[in-house]
């Protein structure tokens, strides 16, 4: 027999109240059949307290054993068996108490069918209610676990995406530092310090899902300082941000890979100066960030690699916002334009 726990015990007052209600009703009904008041009270208490106990037994044990495919015959079987046991017990107890009153014992025997039908109905209803109640609870628990599993999987994928973005930039920076060490040691030292600050900022932000635009731009400026050491006068940047949007939020470290992509396409296939433009504005309660770089389809060579870049950013935005349209790209007047749309979830 399943033990009683605190969660189930809190329903005892309901069963007690239910028993008291039927005690009052049965007591009044028995009085109309010529039963004495004492016999009616004892009969009502014994019958309904035991019936309430039977219903509570079903409710409590259904928590530990929830029938699946056999649910329908199980309800009928348990209701029939408990009703028979209940009837046998109350008949034995009441007969033993009032065995000297022939009128009562005859009435008790004649009402057995009605008593059994009532008990079968009550226990059957309680079995059905318990089955529906615990089935719903079980489904809710399953849904919660499924959501937790999906969230863990999503977090793991987001973490993987973010980790994959760093090595490429890190390798390039280390190669540049290596090249500068012999010819321009001061620049190499300066770049090492900037790279250290950049990576320290990355570690601090690893557990954050969101940053303010102000924080993200500060982090981006640090990244651009490193890239300017690499590319020298060839790399210029223009950052334009509307007023009063500095506190708008966006996924942490989302801009750096977009700008890195712009630098790849803008500088790798040219030898002249290139300007990367970054603009941020508010449009209909959303933050819209646009990154623009020069692009010549005739001279640009396809980049080698796994094609990570923008595809990974789009995937990350989908995981966070469940939308496929938050990263858009286009070419216009020899410019490659990347637009990120960040909904501001309140």
DSSP string covering 212-246, please? Answer: EHHHHHHHHHHHHHHHHHHHGGGEEEEEEE-TT-T
Residue 42: is its pLDDT beyond 50? yes
* Boundary residue ending a domain (95, 119, 145): 145
Q: At what angle do helices 37-62 and 112-183 cross, to 10 degrees?
A: 30
Segment 308-320 mean pLDDT: 81
Residues 201 and 82 in one domain: no
Identify the domain containing residue 28 by its residue range: 6-145
154 inside domain: no
Q: What is the pLDDT of residues 76-92, one digit of tens each?
A: 888 888 889 988 998 88
Residues 269 and 122 in one domain: no
Please name the helix (run of DSSP H) or strand (run of DSSP E) that holds residue 23, with its range, or none: helix 12-31
| Mean of the per-residue pLDDT values of the chain | 79
Q: Tell me what pLDDT residue 204 has.
A: 58
The Cα angle at residue 103 between residues 97 and 108, in degrees rounded to 5: 60
Residues 141 and 188 in one domain: no
Residues 139 and 10 in one domain: yes
163 inside domain: no
Q: Please give the residue that has the higher pLDDT: either 234 or 270.
A: 234
Segment 134-163 mean pLDDT: 73
pLDDT-based confidence at 281, cuts 50/70/90? Answer: very high
pLDDT-based confidence at 337, cuts 50/70/90? Answer: very high
Residues 130 and 191 in one domain: no
Residues 322 and 204 in one domain: yes
CATH number, position 232? 3.30.565.10
Residues 196 and 258 in one domain: yes
Q: Tell me what pLDDT residue 307 has.
A: 43
Close Cβ partners of 337 (under 8 Å, ≥ 6 residues apart): 290, 291, 292, 329, 330, 331
Q: Tell me what pLDDT residue 304 has.
A: 44
Q: Tell me what pLDDT residue 168 has.
A: 63
Contact criterion met (CB below 8 Å) for 227 and 265? no
Residue 292: is its pLDDT beyond 70? yes
Q: Tell me what pLDDT residue 277 has.
A: 94
Q: Please give the residue that has the higher pLDDT: either 291 or 173.
A: 291
Q: Please give the residue that has the higher pLDDT: either 39 or 245.
A: 245
Segment 146-165 mean pLDDT: 66
Residues 80 and 209 in one domain: no
pLDDT-based confidence at 107, cuts 50/70/90? Answer: confident
Residue 121: is its pLDDT beyond 50? yes
Q: Please give the residue that has the higher pLDDT: either 88 or 69.
A: 88
266 inside domain: yes
* Boundary residue ending a domain (90, 119, 145): 145
169 inside domain: no
Residues 337 and 188 in one domain: yes
Residues 88 and 206 in one domain: no
The alpha carbons of the chain give a radius of gyration, in whole angstroms, of: 38
* Boundary residue ending a domain (145, 174, 209): 145
235 inside domain: yes
Q: Tell me what pLDDT residue 164 has.
A: 57
165 inside domain: no
Q: What is the pLDDT of residues 239-257, one digit of tens each?
A: 999 888 999 999 887 888 8
* Number of domains observed in the structure of the chain: 2
pTM of the model: 0.56
Q: Tell me what pLDDT residue 14 has.
A: 65
Residues 193 and 328 in one domain: yes
Residues 22 and 127 in one domain: yes
Q: Please give the residue that has the higher pLDDT: either 209 or 108.
A: 108
332 inside domain: yes
Q: What is the pLDDT of residues 44-63, one digit of tens each?
A: 888 888 888 888 888 887 77
Residue 270: is its pLDDT beyond 80? no
Q: How many CB atoms lie within 10 A of CB 217?
A: 19
Q: Tell me what pLDDT residue 338 has.
A: 93
170 inside domain: no
Region label for 289, one of left (φ > 0), alpha (ψ between -120 and 50) or beta (otherwise): beta
């Amino acid at each position: 027999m399943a033990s009683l726990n605190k969660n189930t015990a809190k329903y005892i007052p309901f069963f007690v109240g239910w028993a008291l209600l039927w005690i009052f009703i049965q007591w009044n009904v028995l009085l109309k059949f010529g039963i004495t008041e004492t016999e009616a009270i004892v009969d009502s208490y014994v019958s309904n307290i035991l019936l309430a106990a039977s219903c509570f037994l079903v409710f409590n044990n259904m928590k530990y054993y929830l029938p699946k495919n056999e649910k329908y015959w199980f309800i009928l079987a348990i209701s029939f068996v408990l009703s028979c046991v209940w009837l046998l017990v109350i008949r034995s107890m009441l007969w033993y108490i009032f065995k000297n009153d022939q009128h009562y014992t005859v009435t008790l025997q004649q009402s057995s069918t009605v008593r059994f039908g009532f008990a079968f109905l009550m226990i059957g209803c309680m079995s059905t209610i318990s089955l529906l109640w615990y089935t719903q609870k079980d489904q809710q628990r399953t849904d919660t676990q499924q959501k937790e599993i999906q969230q863990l999987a999503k977090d793991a994928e987001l973490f993987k995406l973010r980790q994959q973005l760093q090595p490429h930039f890190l390798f390039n920076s280390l190669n540049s530092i290596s090249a500068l060490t012999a010819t321009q040691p001061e620049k190499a030292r300066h770049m090492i310090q900037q790279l250290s600050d950049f990576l320290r900022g990355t570690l601090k932000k690893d557990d954050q899902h969101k940053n303010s635009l102000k924080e993200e731009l500060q982090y981006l400026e640090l990244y651009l300082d490193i890239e300017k050491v690499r590319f020298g006068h060839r790399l210029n940047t223009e950052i334009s941000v509307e007023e009063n949007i500095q506190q708008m939020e966006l996924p942490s470290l989302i801009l750096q890979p977009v700008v890195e992509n712009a630098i790849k396409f803008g500088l790798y296939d040219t030898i002249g100066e290139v300007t990367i433009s970054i603009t941020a504005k508010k449009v209909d309660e959303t933050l819209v960030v646009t990154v623009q770089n020069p692009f010549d389809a005739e001279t640009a060579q396809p980049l080698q690699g796994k094609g990570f870049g923008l595809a990974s950013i789009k995937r990350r935005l989908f995981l966070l916002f469940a939308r496929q349209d938050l990263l858009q790209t286009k070419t216009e007047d020899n410019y490659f334009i990347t637009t990120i749309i960040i909904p501001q979830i309140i």
